Amino acid sequence: MLAVVVDTGLGNITSVHKAVETAAAALSTGIEVVRSADPDLVRRADRIVVPGQGGFRDCARAMSNGLGDAVLEQIRAGTPYLGICLGLQILFDESDEAPGERGFGVLKGRVERLRGGPDVKIPHIGWNQLELVDGGHAHLAAAGGAGTWFYFVHSYHAVAADPGTVVATSGYGENRICSAVAHDNVFATQFHPEKSQRAGLALLRSFLGHSSSTGTGAATG
Told to judge if 192 belongs to the known catalytic residues of this protein, a careful annotator would answer: yes
The interaxial angle of helices 13-25 and 197-209, nearest 10 deg, is 70
| Residues 41 and 47 sit within 8 Å (Cβ to Cβ) | no
| Residues 35 and 15 sit within 8 Å (Cβ to Cβ) | no
160: closest CA among 105, 86, 216, 97? 105
In the set 17, 59, 85, 178, the catalytic residue is 85
**End-to-end Cα spacing for the chain:** 26
| Residues 34 and 20 sit within 8 Å (Cβ to Cβ) | no
In the set 17, 124, 157, 194, the catalytic residue is 194
Calculate the alpha carbon distances from 49 to 27, 32, 52 in Å.
Answer: 17, 13, 10
Told to judge if 59 belongs to the known catalytic residues of this protein, a careful annotator would answer: no
73: closest CA among 27, 104, 111, 31? 104
Residue type at 105 in one-letter notation: G
| Residues 192 and 153 sit within 8 Å (Cβ to Cβ) | yes
Backbone angles phi, psi at 180, to 5 degrees: -155, 145
Told to judge if 21 belongs to the known catalytic residues of this protein, a careful annotator would answer: no
User: What is the rounded CA–CA span in Å between residue 10 and residue 195?
Assistant: 16
Catalytic residues: 85, 192, 194
